[in-house]
Amino acid sequence: MKSSSANYVRIFDTSLRDGEQAPGASMTSAEKLEVARALTRLGVDVIEAGFPAASPDDLAAVQAIAAEIGQTSIEGRPQAQPPIICGLARCTKNDIDAAWQGVKGAKHPRIHTFLATSDLHLKHKLRMSREEMTARAVEMVAYARSLCKDVEFSPEDAGRSDPEFLHKVLAAVIKAGATTLNIPDTVGYTMPDEFGALIEGIIKHTPGAKDVIISVHCHDDLGLAVANSLAGLRAGARQAEVTVNGIGERAGNASLEEVVMAIRTRGAKIGLQTGVDATQLCRISKLVSRSTSYPVPPNKAIVGANAFAHESGIHQDGMIKNAETYEIMKPQDVGATHTMLVLGKHSGRAAFSKRLTELGYPLEGDALLKAFNEFKKLADRKKSVLDADLIALASDERTTVPELWALDSLQVMCGTTGMPTASVRLRDPDGKIRSAAALGTGPVDAAYKAINGIVQLPVELLEFGISAVTEGVDALAEATVRVRHEEQRSSHGHGADSDIVVAAAKAYIASLNHVLSRQSSGRVQHSQSAPTEVPR
Ligand code: KIV
Ligand code: ZN
């Protein structure tokens, strides 16, 4: 697959920038680096690594990605080169300088700068005339181009902009040196035929448009982000800006896995191709879900737990006779395997470690030992241990947030009579054991109150969720928690255990560790999430 061929669609992943702007989806630098590694294995062409002017932490994360990911070609990756590493900047010298500081360590750096073109944004947000906007965009694209030879420009809210004005601005920024023109439907307002016509019009009426790459960037406010992206690509765009699991501002962005699989599955009709290794899709979906604590709905196309499940008798009958009756893609095409672990409670650590590595979750040292001990406990209680169980166990050990506080033991008393009670023992950052007991409205509430009594870190609980990793009453439980401390951006935590209260406690402690590690790195941002009921 050659990026020079006329029907090649460049996949520009913005999970680490637009995706990370989703309320509460913030990731640590280490988590971002891990996602960037997975995106490279997936074979995306461009990684938008962040918004370096947003905070010193964001800048450091982009620099780390540029230095590591932007320099390494991964063996077996469709493209021979490392991906382009891109940093976002508003149209100001300050932002563009920060973006350049972020990406310049990559072999293929890109600066992405944006300024709104719709009259609504010009009047109410920017308070600029059309002429002032054009002059600023031209000046800043030229400035970015003086630093970096790969410059992308986005006319924000293009979907609601006057097309004639848009063509003028785009022609001017091409002259100033822009090499990619990204057309955002910032508020997810357009219909597929309108968005396709917008792209067609840009290619036809913008002088110089045929010499640059036209890109699409669609939001999902009306559930049309993927349809609009495909319409834009069919009209001649050759870059799609997408996020894993469709995470992003408000209703999110076009989902990477849906755009890629639509192009692949309907290739004969659409006549386009990408360089993505689709067998990595489920794996990266899980990684991004875990790193952001945004669960993947079971009915999510391509990567949802039920995307390849067949429940009704008629469907099952058809599937047995010929899988094509009800399956347009094979689960293995997207890496969705439900392999039963051939290991049992008598299996050794080497076999366990080998399977984790095959699943893409390699562990070493103490982390391997801890996960192995958890696996043994689980294998004792659970009939069959599945790959999904293993991934959940490994995920707990692969957290990139320092384990400042750790659960030593937990005991709860609950039932139909009396007040639920929890006794908790935690290991503090110096390794000392601290204990507390508390009453609550339910066992989780009691456990959280006892933990609060020890850690003494006031947080507001924004979200709490618990789900079973696999089927059956003996399934491993996976809990996710989102909290906020003072004015910080929200922090999340994840915990897995065969006991749901223990899983909930682990997740809560992980979220407190997240807050504390963020405090020490000084990243302060505001969140927009609304408070949630305390779980019981
Ligand atoms: O949605 C949008 O307009 C954006 C731009 C910064 C490209 O995310
Ligand atoms: Zn966006």
Q: Which domain holds residue 501?
A: 406-521
Q: Is residue 146 over pLDDT 70?
A: yes
pTM: 0.81
Average pLDDT over residues 363-392: 83
Identify whether 299 is part of a domain. no
Could you tell me if the CB of 117 is within 6 A of ligand 1?
no
Are 488 and 501 contained in the same domain? yes
Are 20 and 86 contained in the same domain? yes
Are 125 and 164 contained in the same domain? yes
Please tell me the distance between residue 73's alpha carbon and the centre of ligand 1 in angstroms: 28
Closest ligand 1 atom to residue 14 Cα is 8
Q: Please, what is the end-to-end C-alpha distance for the chain in angstroms? A: 53
> Nearest-CA neighbor of 247 among 204, 287, 198, 208?
287
Alpha-carbon distance of 19 to 31, in angstroms, equals: 13
Could you tell me if the CB of 154 is within 6 A of ligand 1?
yes
Q: Which of 16-25, 35-44, 315-324, 475-484 has the highest mean pLDDT?
A: 35-44
How many other CB atoms are found less than 10 A from the CB of residue 339? 12
Please tell me the distance between residue 184's alpha carbon and the centre of ligand 1 in angstroms: 6
Q: Which residue has the higher pLDDT, 76 or 380?
A: 380
Last residue of a domain, one of 381, 398, 415: 398
For all residues of the chain together, what is the average pLDDT? 89
Q: Whose CA is nearest to atom 6 of ligand 1?
A: 114
> Nearest-CA neighbor of 375 among 497, 486, 269, 225?
497
Calculate the CA 350 to chain-centre distance. 31
Identify whether 269 is part of a domain. yes
Closest ligand 1 atom to residue 114 Cα is 6
Q: Which residue has the higher pLDDT, 183 or 350?
A: 183
Tokens 């749901």 -> residue: 500
Tokens of 371: 């996960």
Are 445 and 469 contained in the same domain? yes
Q: Which residue has the higher pLDDT, 306 or 457?
A: 457
Pocket test for ligand 1, best of 91, 156, 181 (most atoms within 8 A of CB): 156
Are 151 and 216 contained in the same domain? yes
Are 314 and 371 contained in the same domain? no
DSSP string over 223-269? S-HHHHHHHHHHTT--EEEEBGGG--STT-B-BHHHHHHHHHHTHHH
Average pLDDT over residues 148-166: 98
Ligand showing the shortest atom-to-Cα distance for residue 159: 1
Closest ligand 1 atom to residue 241 Cα is 7
CB 157 within 8 A of CB 184: yes
What's the CATH number where 465 sits? Answer: 3.30.160.270
CB 492 within 8 A of CB 466: no
Are 86 and 222 contained in the same domain? yes
Are 140 and 223 contained in the same domain? yes
Q: Is residue 25 over pLDDT 50?
A: yes
Lowest mean pLDDT among 156-165, 449-458, 515-524: 515-524
SS3 content of the chain, % helix, strand, coil (to 5): 45, 20, 40
Are 372 and 419 contained in the same domain? no
What crossing angle do the helices spanning 443-455 and 500-521 adopt, rounded to 10°? 30
Identify whether 384 is part of a domain. yes
Tokens of 167: 């063509």
What's the CATH number where 48 sits? Answer: 3.20.20.70
Total domain count, the chain: 4
Last residue of a domain, one of 259, 292, 325: 292
Please tell me the distance between residue 113's alpha carbon and the centre of ligand 2 in angstroms: 12
Are 247 and 386 contained in the same domain? no
Average pLDDT over residues 437-444: 95
3-state class (DSSP) for residue 385: coil
Q: Whose CA is nearest to atom 5 of ligand 1?
A: 156
Identify whether 528 is part of a domain. no
Q: How many distinct helices (H) and strands (E) make up the chain?
A: 17, 14
Give pLDDT, residue 265: 97
Question: What is the share, in percent, of the chain residues with pLDDT greater than 90?
Answer: 63
Alpha-carbon distances of 418 from 411, 414, 440, 441, rounded to whole Å = 16, 7, 11, 10
CA neighbours closer than 13 Å in the CB half-sphere of residue 250: 12
Please tell me the distance between residue 6's alpha carbon and the centre of ligand 1 in angstroms: 26
Are 22 and 118 contained in the same domain? yes
pLDDT digits (tens, 9 = 90+) for 248-288: 999 999 999 999 999 999 998 999 999 999 999 999 998 99
Using pLDDT thresholds of 50, 70 and 90, give the confidence band for residue 523: very low
Alpha-carbon distance of 336 to 516, in angstroms, equals: 36
Identify whether 530 is part of a domain. no
CB 405 within 8 A of CB 509: yes
DSSP string over 325-376? GT-SS-GGGGT---PBP---TT--HHHHHHHHHHTT----HHHHHHHHHHHH
Using pLDDT thresholds of 50, 70 and 90, give the confidence band for residue 528: very low
Are 38 and 183 contained in the same domain? yes
DSSP string over 452-515? HHHH----EEEEEEEEESSSSTTPPEEEEEEEE-TTSPPEEEEEEESSHHHHHHHHHHHHHHHH
Using DSSP bridges, classify how beta strands 477-484 and 460-468 pair: parallel, antiparallel or unpaired. Answer: antiparallel
Please tell me the distance between residue 485's alpha carbon and the centre of ligand 1 in angstroms: 28
Q: Is residue 500 over pLDDT 90?
A: yes
Could you tell me if the CB of 18 is within 6 A of ligand 1?
yes
Identify whether 50 is part of a domain. yes
Could you tell me if the CB of 186 is within 6 A of ligand 1?
yes
Please tell me the distance between residue 525's alpha carbon and the centre of ligand 1 in angstroms: 19
Lowest mean pLDDT among 39-53, 101-115, 163-177, 461-475: 461-475
Tokens of 531: 């408070």
Could you tell me if the CB of 159 is within 6 A of ligand 1?
no
Alpha-carbon distance of 96 to 52, in angstroms, equals: 9
Give pLDDT, residue 465: 86
Give pLDDT, residue 80: 67
Identify whether 114 is part of a domain. yes
Question: Which phi and psi (to 5°) does residue 273 adopt?
Answer: -150, 160
Give pLDDT, residue 344: 65
Give pLDDT, residue 339: 52
Identify whether 487 is part of a domain. yes
